[in-house]
Each structure stands twice: as structure tokens, then as C-alpha cells.
Structure 1
Amino acid sequence: MKLKQRVIMMSSLFLTMATLFLIGIQLTWTLTDPQSQHPNQEKSNESIEKKLSPAVPSSNQPPSDAINRFRERFNNHKRPPPPLPVPRDELMKDILQKRFGKFPHIGKPPSLDLTTVPFVKINPWSVWERWVTQDHFYPEGAFYSSEMNQILETLATSQVTELGLGYKGTQLKATMMLGGQKTVFKPKRYSRDEVIEGNPYAGFDRHNGEIAGFHLDGILGFRLAPPVVGRKINLTALGPIITEKLKATFLKRGNNICFYGKCYYCKPAEAACADGEVMEGSVTLWLPSWYKLKTRRHPYQRTYRAETSARWEKDSSYCKTTVLDQSSEFYSGVLEYTDTAVYDFLMGNADRHHYEVYSLAKPHGKLIHIDNGKTFGNPHHDEVSILAPLTQCCRFRSSTWDKLQSIESSPDKLSEILDKSLQRDPLYPILSQDHLAAIDRRLEIIMTAIRHCIDTEGRKDTIVDSWG
């Protein structure tokens, strides 16, 4: 009898402990769920975000809804919730009202319906957090979506809560906080029509090149450039939230407020200046905190010395003997180099000496398209050396080839497609007509180079689905 009582007592104790354990797990998930931490965000918006931007798996087979829900719970448990958007900036609100006639209205360019997704108010930072994977920064089809347009609008109009020194590098930039969301601000240096003479990497970074680079990346289907938008900031109004380190680099030239920041080439003589107190620039959305970058040396890096040429510039067999060698550190990245060569050649970017990939990606990872400031400098010169990875290696991703053929046969030129997409930006026009014409001319050069590879190497060896 005593033994039976003990068994009953132990069974009851076990059930009680199991119940408490399950309640503890549920409570932990509830406390770490972004919806519970942000009560002002509507529940309906969260459900819409989940449907329109689900977790994208890395495997070929899509997981079940149950697995997706588990992954979302698990990711929310591990990562801090994305910040909520902050109030609108009055300067940019006025600019958008003048540009589009009403506010908000980045949703559609004039006379061009680019999205079939109905407008639904969302938390753009939450959508961005869920979109990013190690292979792409947003889902296929999202480039023209209502969600993307709201991300761009929020980048353009959210109040700046801090302006500080930019991260290390060779060019001037500032770190801009929009509430809890980090972004990068690059100031305007040149007018839209100015031609940058000299070597193909001459001059300062072009803020409009950053904007156009994002749109071109999306049109080509790479989805490897984070969202970028143009905006203006009032440096006088932002005075209280500018960090002391950045303020220490401020100066005045006539009636214009300027700053030179901190970077490898930053100095007072080459400060960027506002038009009075209002400065134009580009704003790039920062990647989620979990997306750690690894920097690699590009196999087609330049020497940046006029008297010295890199090996690839002197040896036409460089790719076949070095890059395509299976023991080479560059072998697994061949398709990334040729994809990016096409992207950079269209923009005239000869400055990709290093590049970034997701740090945990194996064996190589996607070459992400950031730091596109040295683009659209001279529309009258086509720097064909940028295409060396393509012309020497003659290996090209089939999906990119299909996209280029589709654009080539389209009734709209690539320049027209790009210009229509750029109409979404509040500072449109972004590119001069000369730069737009250069893009069409360069596309013809690219298609000729790929077809030459097909003729000499054979289609089977040239156009491939995967590599490494």
C-alpha cells in the first residue's frame, strides 16, 4: 500500500514538473517575440509580413509551414527584435510632397505600375530582417513590391537620431541612425552631369552611383545590393544629435557647412560641403547584426600604380592557369567574379579590389554588391578591362545569361528600365542621359564577349548552372 502511494506521488510530481517546464518555454517565446515587445505594431501586419516574406530555406525543397514557424520562433529567440520606425523628417516629407504630389507616395513611379501587391502598412525594418539570407537580400519578385517601396520611403523620410563618423575605408561616409536602425550616409560630391576624367577609379565616391547601383542590381536579378535611397539632411537642424567626433571635422566654406570625417584619404582640403546647410546624399540600409561579413582579395585587383601592371593585365592565360586551377583559393568563386564583372562594367566600376561575402558561407558564398561609389564617372569611356574575369575565364552563370538575353530582346532598353525604376527615388533624376546611353552601349559589348566565349569554348563549358 505504501509502495502504491509512493508511485502515485512520484507520478504527480513528474507531471507537475513537466507542466511547469512547458509553461516556461512558452513564456520565453512570448517574451522574445517582437510582437509582444512592440505592442503598437498591429497583429494583422505581422501575419501579412509572415505571408509575404517567409523565412527562405537554403535547401532545394521548401520546408513545411510547421518548420517555417519553428524557424521563425527560433530566430526571434536568438536575435534582437528589429527597431520600430521613428517619426518622419519634415524636410524630406516636403520633398516627397513636391516630387510625388502627395505623401506617402514612393509606391509607384509616375505612369508606371511596377507592383501588383496591394499597399499594406508594415514595419519595414522587420521585413528587412526577415528577408535577408546568406544568398540574397530579398526574395525573388520583391524588388518592385509594396514592401520594398516602403523600405525606401522609410529610409528617405525617418528622422535622424544620430549622425556619426563612418566605418573605416578610403572614402568619406557617415553613420546615420534612424531610431535603432543603422544606415550609411554618403554625401554628394558631383553634379549629375559632371564627367570624371583620368583613370577609371579616379575621383570621390558618387552618391548617385550608390543609388543607381541598387536599382541595377535588382533589375539584373542579383538581389545582392542592400536598399539605397537619396535624401537631404539639414546639418544645422541635426546639430544636437551629431556626435562630437564628427563635429570635430566640421568647417565652413563661405555660407556652406562642410565636414571631412575620418577615413584613409579624408582631410580638410577635401571636405564635402552642403548647399548652405542642406546636404544631399545617399542612404544605404545596414545589414542585420547576424550577417557578418568576410573580406577577400579580388583575383583581378589592380595595382593602382600607373607604372606597374597586375599579372592579369599582362597575361591573357591568367584565369586558365590560376583562377581555374582547382587548388586555387579563387576557383570556387569564378561565377561570382564573372557576374560582378558584368554588373561593374555596366556602371564603369573599376575599383572592386576587395569584396565581401557572408562569413559562414561555404565554399565561397555570394559576392555582395556594396560600396558602389566609384561608378558612373565617365560615360564616354568603356573600361573593358573590368570584363577580364569574363573574357579570360569564359565561365558564366546560366541564370544571368538568361536575364541578359531577356533584357536584350525586350522592347524597352536596359537604360529605360533602369530610369523607370529610378523614378521611385525622391531625388530623381539620378543619372544623366549620357550615363543611361552608356549602359545600353556596354550591354552590347557584354553580349558580344559572352557569345565569343560560346563560339570558342562551346556553350556547354561556357554557360553553366553551378560551379565548384
Structure 2
Amino acid sequence: MSTSQSKVLKDINVLISNIQMKITGKIDIFTATVKAMNENGLMPIYGTPFLGTTIKLMKTSRIVKTINAIKGTQLKLMLTFENKQEVLFKPKWYLESDTIEGSVYAGKDRYNGEIIAFYISLILGLPRVPITVKRILDSTEIKETASLGLKKTMYINSTTNETCLYGKCYYCKKEDPVCTKSGRLEGAAMLYLPSNLKPRAQLHPWRRTYKENKLARWEKDNNYCKDVLAKYGFERVLDFVEICVFDFIIGNGDRHRYEVVEQLNNTILLIDNGKSFGNPFKDHLDILAPLYQCCIIRLKLWERLKSIKGGSFTHILQKMLDIHESVSLLTLPQYHALERRLRIVYATVTMCQKTFNETVFK
């Protein structure tokens, strides 16, 4: 193992320690977590000592207000804690074992995908996913804290006596509500970024057309990368390659936009990962188009990828999940898919190496 790979594993061990750490006292943990954000993203690559406590607080803090977050195509709630910290909540629509058939962007968002994407971003050294945890709301909590607008979309199912809500969004409708199960509503709670760090959305150059009979240029032109390099520059294209590796591993083919934060050195954040982990038996190779069309990758990411081979990837992920969550957020086929996709990334980089030699690594 190389010196750089040993350092990667050391950084990952620090991360695991940070996730385990519990800080007590009068310190404002959420403010401290925000202050830790830097040019690498939403935390240092090796983590922050506030991480474990922040995760715990996001899972347990008392909610004083729940409103409908109306932006976007799917139901989302905005939860406000008693210290005024806000988190975005995406409800659970599917069982973890459900397989989503169809296109790479089929189905509703997967709450577990949002949570797992956060942990995988840390493992890959791309800490650009907002801290995301599993949060369970009970029906009484929802009713007592819901805004008037949200209450108008809530009702009691006469058959099950469960609380249901359908909210307001592009695809929201009364006929398709999410309902509590045994009085509980599970979902993913994501740390909402402070107003001074609002991301600015840009169209992704490798976005899909979302039209069944119409291909995007990148889907039919293998020389497409030359024009992207000319327009965006070398460093930004390397960013796109990092994003595609992350998205391919989690199975997210719905990255039609990307968000940058000027105050964090124009870092691209990895926001909205709900279309991941839909089908563990299918690999959408075209997600890797930026990698195999441009044949470049940052050396630090490559060293990171090599450090987690041979089953280490899922072992590290399960070790992290076991602290605050549960390894059962993913099924065994999904864990197998992670390792398989990692090997496909290795093979793609090896193919590029044979074609362009060491110029692949930057």
C-alpha cells in the first residue's frame, strides 16, 4: 500500500472517530458545524469533531414548526428545531428492498439514498453532501407543529386511522399521499444551509433530455468533452468527473443541475441524491460519460478509490452506519452493487490509462 493510500485510511479512521464523538457543554453545535465548512465543501475532508454530535442532534432535537417546502417536484417538509435550525425532510415512500424498474430517473426519491449518499461522500473524500440522517416523526408531533398550509393537505385515513399528507409540489396530489405507519413517519432529514451559503444552480453539461426519443449530444458524440473543456476549463471538468464517479456508485442518473457555492471557493455541492439506489441489479454506465469521454481524474480521488478496494468500501460504510443509523438501510444486493460499480470505475480508469498513459491523473 502506498503512503498516500495509508493516509487515506488514516483520514477515514479520523472520520469514524468524529462520527462516534459526543461533545457536551454550552457550545452551539450547529453554528460550529457551519463554521467548519471550507473550500473542500461542507466540512474538512477528514471530518470535524462536531460531526457525531450534529448527527445526534438532527435525529433528536425538538421540532417546533413543520411547513411544506413547496419548491421542486416532490413532497418535502421543512422542520424547524427549537434553536431555529432548519432541516429539510424527505419522507419514506418505498421499502429498502423495493427495486425501482424503468429509466435511471424513475420513481420517487429514496430517503435511504439521501442518507447513504452523505456517508459515501465522506468515504470518497468529497464532503459536499449536507449532513443527512434518518429522522422519525410521530403523528402527534406532525399535527402539533404543522403550519396552517400544511394542515390543509393532511387528513386521517378512515380505513387505517393513520395520518396522511400530500403537501404541495409539482407532482403532489391528494390521491398520492404519504401516511404514517403505526403513527410514525420515517424519512431523511438534511441540514439546511445558512442563508449566506445558498447554492447557485447551473445546468449540467452531461444532463439528459428526459425525452424518450431524443438523445443529448453527449450520448451520441464521444468527442463532446473537447467542447466542454473549452467552455468550462480543466478544473471544472475534473469536478464533473468526480461527480460522475460519485453518482455512478450510488446509481444516481438524475444530476441535471449542479450547485456551486461562491463562498466555498465555487465548490460543487452534491445536493439532491434521492434518485439513487433504485435498482441494485442494473448499472447505468452512461453516468460515467465525463470519465470515459474525457479520460482524466484527480489523483487524490484515484488514490481514495484504490484505498477502499477488496470489500473495504462496504466494510467502512457499514461501520459508519452502525454508529447512528443501521446497516439495513441498504440490502445485500445494494452492497454488492456498490462493490461492483467500484470495480467498473477501476476498469474505466485502466482503459483510459492504456489509451493515454499517465496523463489520466491530474
Q: Is the pair's TM-score, using the shorter chain for normalization, greater than 0.5?
A: yes
User: Which amino acid letter does the alignment assign opposite residue 260 of structure 2?
Assistant: V
CA contact under 8 A between 1:230 and 1:427: conserved in structure 2?
no
Q: Secondary structure at the match of 2:141?
A: coil
CA contact under 8 A between 1:206 and 1:375: conserved in structure 2?
yes
User: Which amino acid letter does the alignment assign opposite residue 354 of structure 2?
Assistant: D
Match of 1:104 in 2: none
Match of 1:386 in 2: 287
Match of 2:189 in 1: 283
- Paired with 1:340 and 1:160, the residues of 2 have a C-alpha distance of 33
- Paired with 1:412 and 1:440, the residues of 2 have a C-alpha distance of 7
The answer to whether 1:203 aligns with 2:110 is no
- Paired with 2:335 and 2:327, the residues of 1 have a C-alpha distance of 13
- Paired with 1:289 and 1:172, the residues of 2 have a C-alpha distance of 22
Structure 1 residue 404: deviation in Å? 0.6
Structure 1 residue 134: deviation in Å? 4.4
| Structure 1 residue ranges, 4+ long, deviating more than 3 angstroms after superposition | 116-120, 329-332, 359-362
Structure 1 residue 457: deviation in Å? 1.6
Structure 1 residue 249: deviation in Å? 1.3
Structure 1 residue 332: deviation in Å? 4.6
The answer to whether 1:193 aligns with 2:97 is yes
Residue 329 of structure 2: which of 430, 439, 449 is its match?
430
Do the aligned partners of residues 137 and 230 (structure 1) sit closer, same or farther apart at CA in structure 2, a change above 3 Å counting? Answer: same
- Paired with 2:354 and 2:220, the residues of 1 have a C-alpha distance of 24
RMSD of aligned residue pairs (Cα, Å): 2.0
- Paired with 2:327 and 2:163, the residues of 1 have a C-alpha distance of 24
- Paired with 1:377 and 1:135, the residues of 2 have a C-alpha distance of 29
Do the aligned partners of residues 118 and 390 (structure 1) sit closer, same or farther apart at CA in structure 2, a change above 3 Å counting? Answer: closer
Q: Secondary structure at the match of 2:86?
A: strand
Q: Alpha-carbon deviations, 1:41-95, whole Å to 9, x = none?
A: xxxxxxxxxxxxxxxxxxxxxxxxxxxxxxxxxxxxxxxxxxxxxxxxxxxxxxx
User: Which amino acid letter does the alignment assign opposite residue 279 of structure 2?
Assistant: N
Match of 1:94 in 2: none
CA contact under 8 A between 1:234 and 1:277: conserved in structure 2?
yes
Residue 64 of structure 2: which of 161, 167, 172 is its match?
161
- Paired with 2:151 and 2:129, the residues of 1 have a C-alpha distance of 30
Match of 2:17 in 1: 115
Residue 36 of structure 2: which of 106, 131, 138 is its match?
131
Structure 1 residue 141: deviation in Å? 2.1
Do the aligned partners of residues 440 and 260 (structure 1) sit closer, same or farther apart at CA in structure 2, a change above 3 Å counting? Answer: same
Q: Alpha-carbon deviations, 1:134-184, whole Å to 9, x = none?
A: 4321123226x4x21110000000011111011411121110111200100
**Structure of greater relative contact order (alpha carbons < 8 Å, 6+ residues apart):** 2
Structure 1 residue 377: deviation in Å? 0.4
Do the aligned partners of residues 212 and 283 (structure 1) sit closer, same or farther apart at CA in structure 2, a change above 3 Å counting? Answer: same
Q: Secondary structure at the match of 1:389?
A: helix
Do the aligned partners of residues 428 and 361 (structure 1) sit closer, same or farther apart at CA in structure 2, a change above 3 Å counting? Answer: closer
Q: Alpha-carbon deviations, 1:352-408, whole Å to 9, x = none?
A: 00010014566xx22111111000000000000100010101111111011011112
- Paired with 2:155 and 2:23, the residues of 1 have a C-alpha distance of 44
Residue 274 of structure 1: which of 157, 175, 180 is its match?
180
Structure 1 residue 225: deviation in Å? 0.9
Structure 1 unpaired stretches of 5+: 1-112
Match of 1:231 in 2: 135
Matches within 5 A, 1:66-85: none
Structure 1 residue 261: deviation in Å? 1.5
Match of 2:152 in 1: 248
Structure 1 residue 448: deviation in Å? 0.5
The answer to whether 1:346 aligns with 2:249 is yes
Match of 1:219 in 2: 123
TM-score (norm. length: structure 1): 0.70
Q: Secondary structure at the match of 2:87?
A: strand
Identity, in percent, stands at 35
Residue 278 of structure 2: which of 377, 386, 394 is its match?
377
CA contact under 8 A between 1:188 and 1:280: conserved in structure 2?
yes
Structure 1 residue 114: deviation in Å? 3.4
